Chain A
Amino acid sequence: MAVSMERFVLPGESLDAEYLPSHPTLPLKLGPGLRHIPPNTITPTVAGQLCSDKRKNAVWVEFNGGRYIPTVGDLVIATINRPSPEFYYASLSDYAPQATLPNLSFEGASRKTRPQLQPGALVYARVSLANKHMDPELECVSSSTGKSDGLGPLNGGMLFTISLGMARRLMLPRPAEQGRVVVLDEFGAAGVSFEIAVGRNGKLWVDSTSLKTTLAIGKAIQETDLKGLNPEEQKKLARKSMKDF
C-alpha cells in the first residue's frame, strides 16, 4: 500500500504542503481527524499519526478513539432497543443518541414479511446517514443491489467490547499482516470453528459451537487489545486458552 510520511500531529497544528499528497487529477480526500478551514487551511483535530496514500490522494490521522462517532458507510453492530411502527431504535454506543433502523431495510423485507427483532437483539448494519443535526440511520441491505451482503440480524453468539483501534485493525483487508492480529488465525489453524463480526463502533460478536470456545476467542481478542500483545504473545495466548477446550 502506498502509505507514506508518518508524522505525529496535535490538534491545531499547521500542516505544511509537503505532508499532503498531490495528484494531477484526483481531488484531495480528507479522512478522519482532519478539518478544512476555508479557503486553504487543513489542520488536525486529534492527536495521532498523519498518514497519506499517494495513489488515492487521501490523507488522514490514525488514532485510537474513545467514543464511536457515526460516519456514513461504516459497518457497525447495533443493539435493538425498542420497535416502533416504522423503525427500530438501536444503540451504537452507550449513552449516545439512538440510531434508527427502518423496518423495511432488510433483504427481501416487505410490509408482510419483515424480521421481528426483540429488544436486545443484535444486527450487523451499515450507517446510511450520519449528520450532526440528525440521529444516525442504519440499513441492513444495499440500496443499489437489494442484497444484504452479509448484513442482518446476528443470532446466538456473544458480544464483546473492544477499543476502536482494535476494531479497525480487525477490519483491515489482511488483519494478520497489516494489523498484526494473529490470534484468530491461530485458533483457525488449530481447527476451532467460529464465526465473528466486527463493528466499527468497538463491538465484536463471536459465535461458535460451544460457549467455552466463544468466550475463549472473545477474551483472547480483548486481552490482545488491552495489553497490546505482539504476534508471538498472541500465539502463546491462543495456545494457552485452547488447552482448556
Chain B
Amino acid sequence: MTISAEPSATLSHLYRADGSATFSQNGYTVIGAVNGPIEVQRRDELPEEAAVDVIVRPAAGVGGTRERHLESILQSTIRQIILIHNFPRTLIQITLQITSTPENDSASSKLVQASSNLPILPTLLQTTVLTLLSASIPLAMTLASISFAINSTGSSRKIIRNPTLEEFQAANSVHVLAFTSNGQLLVAESEGSFTLEVWDEVYEIGKDFCCDVTEPAGDDIMQQDGLDGNTGGMAFVRSTLEHKVSADLHWKD
C-alpha cells in the first residue's frame, strides 16, 4: 500500500448531518460529522456558551483512554475557534470516525496499540475544521495543523515534516502543532527528548507552513498550483472550501 502524504478531502457528503467531511493524509482517513447548535442535556448545559462535544471512534473496537485523550485535546482546541458565546445553552456535537490507519510492517499490531497518540492528531484536527466549515457554524477563525519527526544523530539534525508512521516511531522526538489563521499557536503537543532550540525551530517551520499567506482570491492559477504542490495547511483548507462554495452557489452569476 502506497501512502500519500498529500491531503485530500470531500465535504458535505453525509446527507443527514448538518455538516460533514472526510479527510485523508499520511495514510489516515477520518470521517467527521457535526450537528449543532442543538438541544443540550440539562447536566451539560452551560449558561453563557455552547457545550462542545467531541467523540472520536477508532477504526476497530471501542474507544478507550487513547481516544478520550485525543477528544480532550480536540475539545479544548475547537472551543477556541467556534463562537461559542453566540449559542448559549446549546450543544455542538462533533463525531470523528477513523476509517483507516497506515499499516505497519515493521511493528506488530500490539506495539501500535501501545504507541503514541500523536500521529493521528493533525488529521483529526483538520477533519474537524473542515466539518465545521461545511456546516457553516460561525467560527472566529480557522486553523491548520502539522506534525514533525526529529532525528538527531550526533550534531546533525533532520526534521521531517508530516512523517509516516515508521518515521514517527524511529524519531527522537515528535511534535504536533496547530496554528490559527491569525498565526497564533493553538496546539503544541510533543513527545520524546528534545531541546528548546529544536522546539523553536519546529515552531518557525510549522508557522511558515500552516500560515503561508495565500494570494487573494481571483488568482485562480495560484490556487490551482497550490492544490498539487507541497501546499500549506491553510491553503488546502482554502482551496477545498472555495470548491465547495462555488458548487453550492452555482446558481449565482
Contact A96 B39, beta carbon cutoff 8 Å: yes
Which of B138, B217, B237, B246 is the one whose CB lies under 8 Å from A46? B138
Q: Which 6 A-B pairs give the minimum distances between C-beta atoms?
A: A12-B141, A66-B18, A66-B135, A11-B139, A45-B138, A64-B248
A180 to B165, CA, bound (A): 49
Stretch at the interface among B58-66, B82-90, B225-233: B82-90
Contact A12 B182, beta carbon cutoff 8 Å: yes
A11 to B133, CA, bound (A): 9
Which residues of A line the B interface, CB within 8 A?
Answer: 6-8, 10-13, 33, 35, 45-49, 62-67, 69, 95-97, 132-133, 165, 169, 179-181, 228, 230
A33 to B136, CA, bound (A): 9
Q: Known contacts being A64-B248, A165-B248, A228-B247, is A10 close to B237, with CB within 8 Å?
A: yes
Contact B237 A45, beta carbon cutoff 8 Å: no
A25 to B81, CA, bound (A): 35
User: 1/0 per residue B117-160: CB within 8 Å of A?
Assistant: 00000000000000001111111111000000000000000000
A133 to B47, CA, bound (A): 9
Which residues of B line the A interface, CB within 8 A?
Answer: 17-19, 34-39, 81, 83, 86-90, 133-142, 180-182, 216-218, 237-238, 241-242, 244-252
What residues of chain B lie closer than 8 Å to A133, measured between beta carbons? 88-89
How many CB-defined contacts (below 8 Å) exist between A and B? 106
What residues of chain A lie closer than 8 Å to B81, measured between beta carbons? 11
Contact A62 B141, beta carbon cutoff 8 Å: no
What residues of chain A lie closer than 8 Å to B17, measured between beta carbons? 66
A72: min CB distance to chain B, Å: 15
A180 to B249, CA, bound (A): 11
Contact B87 A47, beta carbon cutoff 8 Å: no
What residues of chain A lie closer than 8 Å to B140, measured between beta carbons? 11-12, 45
